[in-house]
Amino acid sequence: MYLEELRLADFRSYGSLSLNLTPGVTVFVGANGQGKTNIVEAVGYLATLRSHRTAVESPLIREGASRARIRGVVVDDGRTTSVDVDIIPGQANNAWINGVRVRRVREILGICKAVVFSPEDLKLVRGDPASRREYLDDLLVSLRPRYAAIRSEYERTVHQRNAYLKETLKRPHRLDPSHLDVWDQQLCRAAEALLKARLSLTSSLAPLVEQAYAAVAGHHSVVRLEYRSSVPEALTTQEPEAAYLAAIHRLREAELARGITLVGPHRDDLDIFLDDRPARMYASHGEAWSLALALRLAAYEMFRRDGTRPILVLDDVLAELDSGRRQALTETIDEAEQVLLTTAVDEDLPKATRFLVRAGEVRRVD
Amino acid sequence: MYEGVVQDLIDELGKLPGIGPKSAQRIAFHLLGVDADQVRRLAEVLLQVKERVRFCTVCGNVAEADRCRICTDPRRDASVLCVVEEPKDVIAIERTREFHGRYHVLGGAISPIDGIGPEDLRIRELLQRLADGAVKELIIATDPNLEGEATATYLARIVAPLGVRVTRLASGLPVGGDLEYADEVTLGRALEGRRALDV
Ligand SMILES: [Zn+2]
């Protein structure tokens, strides 16, 4: 698939930007801070409804504006679909497919599929568990849009349950066991659905990550992905819901004392082992980079096996790579229907379309 | 910030559901632009609604008397009670013409984020209505979203000891949605295919 048109209104530094794009490689050249990353960030947002740079949405809105708009026209297998999304901080966002407003923004997921490589990917290896959970969940949702409902229902359940636990922390005498039971039940049911989805994704991903690592690093190493649950019993049973419920009852006192939900997939991690050592602590800078690339390449391969060629976004990563790692990416670059690449130093990429990005102005150069 | 009364109007409008600061401003300036008669009419209707319309003391639906039309209609089946979140859901179910029992309006759904617990809903009134054993079936028609499900589960649990048959609208309703947006056919089918709720 490829984007034929990308329009931004009040998004980051852009008051208004309209780009006509083509299949093949497109390079956005510009010094840091000139706005080139904002362009590909918008593409990532259309694909996942999240920014790869920030967890909160307010920085996405241009200063002085109340909302941002991203419009993409996607061509997939000859079919053209337009998607629009309005980002309104502190409010529910709005979205349109082919000009028709959708009831839920997440209905646009799956229309624009993209895999984004960025310098922030080092966090996948070195960062806290949240980065790895997000990697899994974002991929899950882009591969199977119906998981967006599972993910958001789980997140909302945790939010509701935490609100109730906090309330009883303030007023312990008002604790209503039947009420808490209800949230326990909802939480455990939603937790099982999310856990099962993540486990199945992890087992499909594992061999692909190992393969990709060998290609990137240029030598074979044993790469192991191990899903770590806050409730280990949930991983070995056919009925994780029951395991979660048991854990909740075990941790009742602690949860009530702290006013937060201590059980569930929002406290899990994806452990990465390189030659049997936890990569988070032991991987060298080079190894960590190779692993991060391998995780993204494996994500790309997941889409391929699913029968789609997602848009490949390379945000400022080429310059960071030595020739060996670059070589591993070249194959994917050649294979992708569309590659959107940002760089500070113009790259020697034949047949690429070039845009010069300077002070928020984007100009095509031939 | 605008001066005095204009800002007061914007502030008051901004308290209404679904109206953000920008809309509040737009409505305020719209009202400033129209003639006085039109504004007077709006103000009168607002006051009349507050004076004339009440909530039915039995079911919690909007009523112009002590009891609403459905509660006073002898043809309605008193053995089936349908629990909904809001008066607008009563209207949605009435549109299907599939339901001939009576209603109980909770006034919302459990949502700790919004500070709404079971004690803020008309659950005590519901239990009182169930006490004499005349109601044989309780249909829980809360919204098919997280808060609606939580409320349904809560009700099923506390009603269980009373021995009333508790059912939930069949799936097929758009999950995550509001009852009022479901079309008549879908809602009618959901009503027909309701299932017993496990506790
Ligand atoms: Zn009534």
Comparing CB atoms, the residue among B22, B158, B176 nearest residue A178 is: B158
Please tell me the predicted confidence (pLDDT) of residue A218: 86
Nearest CA in chain A to B118: A179
CA of B147 to the centre of ligand 1 (A): 24
CB–CB contact A66 B22 (8 Å) = yes
B39 falls within a domain: yes
Residue A300: which of A271, A328, A268 has the closest Cα? A328
The end-to-end CA distance of chain B, in Å, is 53
Please tell me the predicted confidence (pLDDT) of residue B198: 62
Regarding whether B80 and B8 lie in a shared domain, the answer is: no
Please tell me the predicted confidence (pLDDT) of residue B187: 77
A229 and B CB contact within 8 Å: no
Residue B23: which of A16, A99, A69, A88 has the closest Cα? A88
Regarding whether B15 and B103 lie in a shared domain, the answer is: no
CB–CB contact B153 A91 (8 Å) = no
B45 falls within a domain: yes
Digit-coded pLDDT (tens) for B105-135: 999 999 999 999 999 999 999 999 999 989 9
Digit-coded pLDDT (tens) for B45-69: 999 888 888 899 999 999 988 999 9
Give the pTM.
0.84
Task: Kindly indicate the confidence band of residue B181, based on its pLDDT and cuts at 50, 70 and 90.
Answer: low
How many contacts, defined by CB atoms under 8 Å, are there between A and B?
52
CB–CB contact B150 A182 (8 Å) = yes
B176 and A CB contact within 8 Å: yes
Average pLDDT in chain B: 88
For chain A, which ranges sit under pLDDT 70?
A: none
Regarding whether B102 and B183 lie in a shared domain, the answer is: yes
Residue A101 has φ and ψ, to the nearest 5°, of -65, 135
CA of B90 to the centre of ligand 1 (A): 10
Question: The domain spanning residue B119 has which CATH number?
Answer: 3.40.1360.10
Regarding whether B152 and B179 lie in a shared domain, the answer is: yes
Regarding whether B156 and B78 lie in a shared domain, the answer is: yes
Please tell me the predicted confidence (pLDDT) of residue A192: 96
- Residues A148, A141 contacting (CB under 8 angstroms): yes
Protein residues with C-beta less than 5 angstroms from the ion ligand 1: B 56, 58-59, 61, 68, 71
**Which domain covers residue B182, as residue numbers?**
70-196
Regarding whether B162 and B95 lie in a shared domain, the answer is: yes
B64 falls within a domain: no
- ipTM for this prediction: 0.81
B63 falls within a domain: no
Regarding whether B113 and B22 lie in a shared domain, the answer is: no
The span from the CA of B103 to the CA of B138, in Å, is: 9
Question: The domain spanning residue B15 has which CATH number?
Answer: 1.10.8.420
Q: Which residues of B touch A161 (CB under 8 A)?
A: 112
Indicate the number of domains in chain B.
2
Please tell me the predicted confidence (pLDDT) of residue A319: 80
Regarding whether B159 and B121 lie in a shared domain, the answer is: yes
Regarding whether B31 and B81 lie in a shared domain, the answer is: no
Digit-coded pLDDT (tens) for A143-192: 988 898 899 999 999 999 999 999 999 988 888 999 999 999 999 999 99
Residue A352: which of A320, A324, A312, A323 has the closest Cα? A312
Q: Which residues of B touch A185 (CB under 8 A)?
A: 153
Q: What is the nearest CA distance from B113 to chain A, expressed in angstroms? A: 5
Regarding whether B96 and B153 lie in a shared domain, the answer is: yes
CA of B149 to the centre of ligand 1 (A): 24
B127 falls within a domain: yes
Please tell me the predicted confidence (pLDDT) of residue A69: 97
Residue A255 has φ and ψ, to the nearest 5°, of -65, -40
B59 falls within a domain: no
Please tell me the predicted confidence (pLDDT) of residue A350: 76
- Does the pLDDT of residue B175 top 70, yes or no? no
B65 falls within a domain: no
Regarding whether B136 and B187 lie in a shared domain, the answer is: yes
The span from the CA of B157 to the CA of A113, in Å, is: 44
The span from the CA of A24 to the CA of A334, in Å, is: 8
Burial of residue A206 (CB within 10 Å: 0-12, 13-18, 19+) is middle
Q: Which residues of A touch B22 (CB under 8 A)?
A: 66
The span from the CA of A273 to the CA of B192, in Å, is: 54
The span from the CA of A111 to the CA of A43, in Å, is: 11
CB–CB contact A149 B22 (8 Å) = no
- Calculate what percentage of chain A has a pLDDT beyond 90: 78
- Does the pLDDT of residue B183 top 80, yes or no? no
Please tell me the predicted confidence (pLDDT) of residue A54: 86
Can you say whether the dihedral through the CA atoms of A180, A181, A183, A187 is positive or negative? positive
Please tell me the predicted confidence (pLDDT) of residue A327: 83
Digit-coded pLDDT (tens) for B17-41: 778 788 889 999 999 999 999 999 9
Residue type, A105: V
Please tell me the predicted confidence (pLDDT) of residue A172: 87
> What number of H helices and E strands is found in chain B?
8, 7
Please tell me the predicted confidence (pLDDT) of residue A279: 96
Please tell me the predicted confidence (pLDDT) of residue B172: 58
Question: ∠ CA A216-A220-A221 to the nearest 5 degrees?
Answer: 100
Residue B82: which of B69, B74, B71, B72 has the closest Cα? B71
B62 falls within a domain: no
- Calculate what percentage of chain B has a pLDDT beyond 70: 92
CA of B80 to the centre of ligand 1 (A): 14
A103 and B CB contact within 8 Å: yes
Regarding whether B136 and B101 lie in a shared domain, the answer is: yes
